[in-house]
Amino acid sequence: MIATSPARSPASAPALTVKVMMVDDSLVTRTAIGRIFDGAADIELVCQAGSLDEAFAYLSAQRTDIILLDHEMPGRKGLDALPHMLDAARDAHVIMLSSYCQRGSSTAVTALSLGASDALAKPTSGEETHDFAEQLLWRVRRLAAARQSRRAEEAPVTLRLVPPDFAVECIGIGASTGGIHALAGLLQAMPPRPDVPILVTQHLPSSFIPYYARQVARMCTLPVSIAREGQALCPNHIYIAPGEVSLSCLREGGTARISLIERRDPLTSARPSVNHMFAGMAHCFGAGAMGVVLTGIGRDGTAGGRAIASAGGVLIAQDQASSTVWGMPGSLAREGLASACLAPADIPRYMATYCGVAV
């Protein structure tokens, strides 16, 4: 997820000290970031690595909570090193911090698809740095708080029984932080023709959506389009929620069509909203709706999930072990709404059982 504005609540700072490692070959940048963290009592900059070799050497012996990774590194690009860094860092969150990560850039979306939790552009020369510092601190604290909650003991989850004779007519997938990477794992395991329309809501600003849609198209063999108002839903087609507008659906006569909702979700303030998407699916497809909630911070998808469950549909939550943040899927599971908790690559096989197709 790319967050767009800092939270102002006192709860935004985690209770424990956050350990941050910075990987950037620029001494000027490392010094500037160090000054930002010097004023934050809850954040400790534990390592300033000037090369990827230094970073991997540190991670082989020490743990950190957050890694700030530059893309332009000597000898090897940050994007190329990102998957290996995620492996070396175990459960640390990576924020791609680069001048190449402007809103809507291919670098930012690619970083997210490879497993980065967030992406933020460095300020250019002469640009106001106060907003950058505020954004950086908020993102670090937000991800650290999510990491702490992931470590917390989770109560056993009770799975909801699948209604008898359930058959899928429409699939909706909702995600936030870590969701682009999770969606890639899901779509790459999808059957070539699931024979139902697929709606996708990923929390992203509108400037990222065109490149994100192209990225999704590369993940699978199905046609992909950014949803348009009134567009008829067709099987074997993926519809992406536009940024800042929620993707929902309605019926006109016997035809299911896209309905775009501009108002924010009153429960989560999310836009696009997974709740809006699921509520529309429940109304439009009833017992034929299947909702999937992938990794993400917060509870978006739970209220809409109740609507799908009440209509006789089925819900799937990403499991905790594979989630970057088990907020959204965890909320759905703890409410007893999920009929399965699975890793993204295992979800298509479960889906196929009710789509009448083989994986």
Asked if the structure places residue 2 within a domain, the reply is: no
Asked if the structure places residue 161 within a domain, the reply is: no
Asked if the structure places residue 209 within a domain, the reply is: yes
Domain of residue 55, residue span: 11-151
* C-alpha distances out from residue 42 to 7, 12, 62, 344, Å: 16, 11, 19, 34
Q: Are residues 325 and 199 located together in one domain of the fold?
A: yes
Q: Are residues 147 and 219 located together in one domain of the fold?
A: no
Q: What does pTM read for this prediction?
A: 0.88
Q: Are residues 271 and 133 located together in one domain of the fold?
A: no
Q: Distance between terminal CA atoms of the chain?
A: 29
pLDDT of amino acid 1: 55
In the set 176, 246, 273, 323, the catalytic residue is 176
Task: Identify whether the C-beta of residue 274 lies closer than 8 Å to the C-beta of residue 243.
Answer: no
In the set 203, 248, 259, 346, the catalytic residue is 203
The question of whether 176 is a catalytic residue gets the answer yes
Asked if the structure places residue 210 within a domain, the reply is: yes
Q: Is the pLDDT of residue 164 over 70?
A: yes
- What's the rounded Cα separation, in Å, for the pair 209 and 242? 6
Q: Are residues 247 and 348 located together in one domain of the fold?
A: yes
Kindly report, residue by residue over 52-68, the tens digit of the pLDDT. Answer: 999 999 999 999 999 99
Domain end, chosen from 122, 151, 180, is at 151
Asked if the structure places residue 4 within a domain, the reply is: no
**Residue 79: which CATH number?**
3.40.50.2300
Q: Are residues 131 and 272 located together in one domain of the fold?
A: no
Kindly report, residue by residue over 330-345, the tens digit of the pLDDT. Answer: 999 999 999 999 999 9
**Residue 259: which CATH number?**
3.40.50.180
Amino acid at 61: A
Q: Are residues 122 and 184 located together in one domain of the fold?
A: no
Q: Are residues 174 and 219 located together in one domain of the fold?
A: yes
Q: What is the largest CA-CA distance in the chain?
A: 64
Q: Is the pLDDT of residue 228 over 60?
A: yes
Beta strands 255-261; 246-252: pairing state:
antiparallel
pLDDT of amino acid 55: 97
